Chains A and B, each alone.
Chain A
């Protein structure tokens, strides 16, 4: 690039020995120049005092971030193990301080180092700065190898080109060079090449994420043991002919605690079972629950045959008929178990105890429909005790 069209950056002078550059620096500093810099291939002892620097303050950055990190990580570990998800581990207390020391230390060092270095390079030095005027100058090439250079910038208030040149000459520099600002090259943010690059990256990321999360993670052994090779309830089986992992028990076998119902299939057996359950509160509540679930759709909530399926479906008869009132518990149980005319068997949906509970509840409903006089007095008694009064 042709520099001469650009403004002057400064005057750069090269020196041969460390002593010369040290003197030069001292002189320039003494002359009161502010915007000047000394470039040497390696740090020169005594240069900082020559240039009148104070001791670097970088140490405080380290100190601050170090302490911040320590407090943070310690607090975090306490929160993680004692607050967020407290687990008893080896009988140790949730906040086991001694065990947290190593991590606290490591994290402190890490943060200290990173913050310091980043702070120095990016904030203090304002690097990267690849198009600084003195780059690519003969001056730069020399100072980064074996010469010692000093450049006084045009921005300096005391800057006067000829004067400065004179000064540097007098200091014994054999090689003086004028450095000009480079012309500013423009980036535009959206070059097509960049956009293409962006697109490719995006597609790759999306693709790989998709494969990992939806395909890869379900392959053994990565599948978190999702595919268990064991028989699971209601699972599809590739082995049995009817694709059913669940088998039906062999006909004629008797499971423990399960004597098959003696009168299976008989609508009106000669003798029937007797009710093993007493009408306790618990039983009746169970009975009510099951009655409302299974019976009420046809027989109605009060077993009076007025059901919500009335009309759409052959109506269930009322259970308050004399015939049914005269039924023994066992007979009602038998009807539930075996079904009756168009009523199907409910033995698969309702367990045995539940059936007996329903029987008991039906009894309650029947009694409620045509109560004995004694019941009223009883109810009065109860209400008196419980303190609420109902109209007779």
Chain B
């Protein structure tokens, strides 16, 4: 309706033009200011707070826009898939392999003359761990640290990978086997009537010996010289003189009540330690006090055996003879018939002797009393380094006391090939010098390093036209030769071994040769086949089987077919049959003439050479694990040293680390000294096997070669020499150890271990009198602010029986291998950054001359109230439902707070990526990395780590149990250290299983205590206090 609209408009217009209504006088009189103000909608000054114009440059909107846009694009940024490489399965899976599961192979280690039976753990055909073969009559499931560590030599990137030949300007150049074989074959055939000399370590393989015999058949001028750096020759020859048979008998250590060790480290390096330690520990069983033995030790410097002795006399080794004679005298006085004229004995008075060498007369008397009272159950045992004379006297003493009852009649050591004497080597050298030796073969041996230098062997070598060295890697001898032929590692080799009567040990390879290497027997066999030379990698395998089928198997008249027999033999790793040891005759009185010599006061310095716990005879000097393995007594790594008593040090005016100059005959050696508590005065004890010149990066410049002091004619014996001069040397050499040596230094720190109840000890008598003499409240009963968390199901715990722990440290190496512990090197040990999860703490108490030594295995105590967990800011270490203190590597940022708060200081920190840091990433080479346990994380730098109670083994056991639908039992799991412990000192089990032997016999034993109980960390590792079998009641 338009007109209406019009009307409205007109109306409005009218109003505008002519307002009938006025609101104020201003309005009425048309005040301009009002009209003005009406133009704007709002009154002056009234403003909208949210005017965009009021927003500053970067407005919220803009900001949000910016954030969202970048967030969106960031999202785009995180869209990528990283290739993780190919998966390569078997195309023909071997029947025995289930991928991811280990296989075990029984074999034999030949790293030393004892040839332990070993069990090699492999994963997909790669050896990753060595332990003892439980079926082996000697090793009984145990083995030694060197054996465990030998796996490192298999994966050593510096192994010789192909044959090499020295060219005219003296460098070794790579060759193929074929031409080398041909050349050598020609040389052998051309040798004519000249001698072909083999220089070998002692041969322990019957079949290996047969190969040599075959070789000798084809080349009649072949002569074989075998040696060991340390051998039983003195003991055996003495025995032969006394009883007529070749080898001294083995001892029933487990039946001995009284053991008197004379300079014999039978728990360390003297004899087959694996067996001896086991038998000895049987006499240290707290649950059977009747059987408890008493160990007297008479030695020049502290040894592992000495650490475990109840009474210890420090005596310079050249006085041992006099000492034995005194004992004979005393014993005869107390009515034991000694078949020697009295006036000879009369010269030897124990009292004077005690005075002369300031030994405790009281204890000596006690020793004599014990010997007399325990006739037939006591044994006096002289060290292999002592001269023949001492051994004869000792044999006489044992004979007189009727201790021959303790000689074992079930088995005895045998030599497949008797070792040569130094005279024979002199013969060899003269042969060489007179040009009668055409070819010299170093048969996996290193005579240049091992033989006494004054033999002139090294010099003689340039007179040999052809020197062939069979060796895993270049060594001091091979570099002087023309050819070096790389040979297989143990784990790549076939073989057999015979070291004792009653059984053979079998050796089978667990991996094909990694490099272009051959087994030493195989090389010879190939040559024997003559031209054209064709190598067949089965050659020795076949030869071995033939030899067994034709020669050995028939002699054993087994019921099985040979096929079965052979499979069984390889499976068990040992062939046991009954073979009675050579019987020995009655004591031959004529030897007594050897005991005529008079005694005299001994005043000059004495040099005693011992076998190294770490480097063996030098074969392990390129093995990082062994070199970083803390010396059982001094805890020194990466070096050998001259151990001297502190009085001697004063005389020489030296401190530890200062070099001393030792002169024997015209032979000199400068070597750093170390003040060894309990060392005899004027006695300088040095370990051999160090200071090799030609060796890989790891062993370069490690230690000092004390072979330089030895003489072909020997001193008092081949290992004991009178020094004509010992003086302060020039400068010093830092010896690094994993423990500070401050114990005796300050009043503050004296006997700290006992004052702090870290070590708690008693004597058998005390224990008999009061089984609860360890005054300690049971920590389970100790008060706590919070009530403890419950651990239903399995709760893992460990018990360490300090009576059995001899402090040898095998467990340390076993742990290294199992848990991928890196080698850190001397510089890092020097600043106390060693990575071993396990350590054997060694505490001295008493005086520096007569120290009482206590060993204690120290590892993560898996505390219930773990202090480390409280302080970790990122919860990288927490408790598992089965009571373990876990370490989560990937969560760890490395604040190291946990280590600070750990009262036991068992946590280890990767200050560097040690695999990269050590010897320019030697450990990161692909080959080396194969040694690592696939089940265990390889830790990177900046991460804290520690003992896990072998969680990977626990998990294996658990999955087994689940597979078999049965509950997991404590006894299903054995930790690596437990496996390795020769004396079964380590027990592991379930603390909630109140019926288990672990709980009843160890966890709740009245001698059990925790370290640092009053800190109330509630550890899960129990220590069974050590009992010393002394006459007095207090230690």
Q: Do chains A and B touch in the complex (CB under 8 A)?
A: yes
A206 proximal to B (CB < 8 A): yes
Given contacts A225-B940, A230-B820, contact A202 B70 (CB under 8 A): yes
The answer to whether B96 and A258 have CB atoms under 8 Å apart is: yes
What 1/0 mask marks residues of chain A from 160 to 193 whose CB sits below 8 Å from any chain B CB?
0000000000000000000000001111010000
- In the complex, chain B residues 886-933 whose Cβ is within 8 Å of any chain A Cβ: 889-890, 913, 915, 924, 926-927, 929-930, 932-933
Residues of A within 8 A of B55 (CB): 187
Whether B53 and A89, one on each chain, are in contact in the complex, defined by CB atoms closer than 8 angstroms, is: no
**How far is the CB of A210 from the nearest CB of chain B, in Å?**
4
Inter-subunit contact A225/B890 (CB<8 Å) = yes
Tell me how far the C-beta of A216 lies from the nearest C-beta in chain B, rounded to whole angstroms: 12
- Contact mask for chain A residues 213-237; partner B; CB cutoff 8 A; 1 contact, 0 none: 1100010110111001111111111
Chain A: minimal CB distance from B91 (Å): 9
Contacts of B105 in A (CB 8 A): 253-256
Number of chain A interface residues as a range: 35 or more
Interface residues of B in 928-965 (CB under 8 A from A): 929-930, 932-934, 936-943
A35, A126, A194, A246: the one contacting B125 at CB < 8 Å is A246
A329 close to B (CB within 8 Å) = no
Q: How far is the CB of A5 from chain B (nearest CB, A)?
A: 14
CB distance from B930 to the nearest CB of A (A): 5
Shortest distance from the beta carbon of A249 to any chain B beta carbon, whole Å: 5
Q: How far, in whole Å, are A351 and B97 apart by their CA atoms in the complex?
A: 10
Known: A187-B53, A231-B124, A254-B571. A205 touches B70 (CB 8 A): yes
Complex: A224 Cα to B103 Cα, angstroms: 30
Q: Give the residues from 854 to 884 in chain B that come closer than 8 angstroms, CB to CB, to chain A.
A: 864-870, 875, 878-879
Given the interface contacts A154-B44, A249-B103, does A225 sit within 8 Å of B866 by beta carbon? Answer: no
The distance from the CB of B279 to the nearest CB of chain A, in whole angstroms, is 26
In contact, B788 and A91 (Cβ under 8 angstroms): yes
Task: Determine if A243 is an interface residue (Cβ-Cβ < 8 Å).
Answer: yes
Is there contact, CB below 8 Å, between B889 and A231?
no
B80: CB under 8 A from chain A? yes
CB distance from B319 to the nearest CB of A (A): 51
Partner of A210 from B78, B92, B128 at Cβ < 8 Å? B78
| In contact, B95 and A347 (Cβ under 8 angstroms) | yes
Inter-subunit contact B103/A87 (CB<8 Å): no
Give every chain B residue within 8 A of A129 (Cβ-Cβ).
54
Chain A residue at minimal CB-CB distance from B563: A262
Inter-chain contact B51/A91, CB cutoff 8 Å: no
Q: Which of these, B66, B784, B934, contacts A231 with CB under 8 Å?
A: B934
Contact with B along A244-278 (1 / 0, CB 8 A): 11111111111111111110000000000000000
Q: Judging by beta carbons under 8 Å apart, are A230 and B930 in contact?
A: yes
Residue pair A91, B789 in contact (C-beta under 8 Å): yes
| A88 x B789 contact (CB < 8 A) | yes
Pair B879/A87 contact, Cβ less than 8 Å: yes
Contact status A90-B103, CB under 8 Å: no
A4 at the interface (CB under 8 A from B): no
Q: Residue A203 at the B interface, CB < 8 A?
A: yes
In the bound complex, CA of A218 to CA of B541 (Å) = 47
Contact with A along B493-522 (1 / 0, CB 8 A): 000000000000000111110000000000
Q: Does B804 contact A (CB under 8 A)?
A: no
Q: Give the interface SS of chain A, mostly helix, strand, loop or mixed.
A: loop
**B528: Cβ under 8 A from any A Cβ:** no
Interface assignment of B82: CB less than 8 Å from any CB of chain A: yes
Choice from B54, B85, B88 contacting A244 with Cβ under 8 Å: B88
Chain A positions within 8 Å of B568 at CB level:
259
Q: Does A30 contact B (CB under 8 A)?
A: no
With A90-B870, A187-B55, A247-B512 already in contact, the answer to whether A202 and B69 are too (CB < 8 A) is yes
Closest CB of chain A to B121's CB: distance in Å? 10
CB distance from A250 to the nearest CB of B (A): 5
Q: How far, in angstroms, from A254 to B106 measured CA to CA in the complex?
A: 8
Q: Which of A126, A201, A249, A258 contacts B66 (CB 8 A)?
A: A201
Determine the distance from Cα of A252 to Cα of B932 in the docked complex, in whole angstroms.
26
Q: Is the CB of B510 within 8 A of A189?
A: no
Contacts of B939 in A (CB 8 A): 225
The CA-CA distance from A234 to B57 in the complex, in Å, is 60
In Å, the complex CA distance between A262 and B562 comes to 12
Give chain A nearest CB distance to B755 CB in angstroms.
27
Residue from the set A225, A253, A258 with the largest chain B CB neighbour count within 10 Å? A253
Chain B residues, CB < 8 A from A154: 44-45
Size of interface on B: residues with Cβ below 8 Å to A: 102
Say yes or no: is B126 at the interface (Cβ < 8 Å to chain A).
yes
For the complex, is A2 an interface residue (Cβ under 8 Å from B)? no
From A92, A220, A243, A246, give the contact of B124 (CB < 8 A).
A246
B570 adjacent to chain A (CB < 8 Å): yes
The answer to whether B103 and A234 touch across the interface, beta carbons within 8 angstroms, is no
Task: Verify B941–A221 contact, CB threshold 8 A.
Answer: yes
Known: A221-B941, A225-B937, A250-B510. A87 touches B878 (CB 8 A): yes
Distance of A201 Cα from B51 Cα, bound (Å): 28
B66 to chain A, nearest CB (A): 6
Closest Cβ of chain B to A156, distance in Å, is: 9
Query: In the assembly, what is the distance between CA of A280 and CA of B210, in Å?
Result: 53
A259 touches B512 (CB 8 A): no
Interface residue B747 (Cβ < 8 Å from any Cβ of A)? no
Known contacts A90-B869, A91-B786, A209-B77: A256-B88 contact under CB 8 Å: no
Chain A CB within 10 Å, residue with most, of B86, B87, B95, B538: B95
Residues of A within 8 A of B104 (CB): 255-257
Q: Which residues of A contact B122 (CB under 8 A)?
A: 249
Alpha-carbon separation in the docked complex, A224 to B82 (Å): 15
Nearest CB in chain A: distance from B870 CB, A: 4
Q: Max chain B CB contacts within 10 Å: which of A91, A129, A230, A251? A: A91
Contact A348 B510 (CB under 8 A): no
Q: CA of A240 to CA of B666 in the docked complex: distance in angstroms?
A: 52
B168 at the interface (CB under 8 A from A): no
The digit string for B85-127, where 1 denotes a CB below 8 A from any CB of A, is: 1111110111111111001111000000000000100111110
Smallest Cβ-Cβ distance to B53: which chain A residue: A184
Could you say which residues of chain B place their CB within 8 Å of the CB of A87? Answer: 875, 878-879
The verdict on B52 contacting chain A, using a C-beta distance below 8 Å, is yes
Give bound CA distance, A224 to B892, whole Å.
10
Q: Which chain A residues (106-162) contact chain B, with CB distance < 8 Å?
A: 126, 128-131, 153-155
B45 to A155, Cβ gap below 8 A?
Answer: yes
> Contact: B95 with A348, CB < 8 Å?
yes
Q: Is A52 located at the chain interface by the 8 A CB criterion?
A: no
Q: Which residues of B contact A234 (CB under 8 A)?
A: 87-89, 99
B65 at the interface (CB under 8 A from A): yes
CB of A98, distance to nearest CB on chain B (Å): 9
Please give the distance in Å from B480's CB to the nearest CB on chain A: 32
Asked whether B571 lies within 8 Å of A256 as measured between CB atoms, the reply is: yes
Q: If the complex has contacts A206-B76, A209-B77, A230-B820, are A90 and B865 also in contact, measured as CB distance less than 8 A?
A: yes
| Chain A contacts for B890, CB-based, 8 A | 224-225
| Interfacial residues of chain B within 944-998, with CB under 8 A of chain A in the complex | none
> B46-58: contact bitstring with A at CB < 8 Å (1 yes, 0 no)?
1001011111110
Rounded to whole angstroms, the CA-CA distance of A237 and B87 in the bound complex is 10
| B748 close to chain A: CB less than 8 A | no
A92 to B49, CA, bound (A): 55
The distance in angstroms between the C-alpha atoms of A92 and B867, with both chains bound, is 10
> Are the CB atoms of B74 and A256 closer together than 8 Å?
no
Shortest C-beta distance, A278 to chain B (Å), equals: 17
> Knowing that A246-B90, A249-B96 are A-B contacts, what are 17 other residue pairs whose CB atoms are under 8 Å apart, sorted by A's residue number?
A91-B786, A126-B49, A130-B56, A153-B45, A154-B44, A155-B46, A187-B52, A189-B62, A198-B69, A208-B77, A230-B936, A235-B87, A245-B126, A248-B97, A248-B125, A256-B119, A259-B567
Q: Could you list 22 examples of A-B contacts with CB < 8 Å?
A: A187-B57, A189-B62, A194-B62, A201-B66, A205-B71, A209-B74, A213-B80, A221-B940, A221-B942, A228-B937, A229-B929, A230-B930, A236-B85, A245-B930, A247-B511, A248-B97, A253-B510, A255-B104, A255-B105, A256-B103, A258-B103, A260-B95
Across the A-B interface, the 10 shortest Cβ-Cβ residue pairs: A155-B45, A247-B125, A209-B77, A230-B932, A206-B73, A246-B124, A210-B77, A229-B929, A88-B879, A91-B865
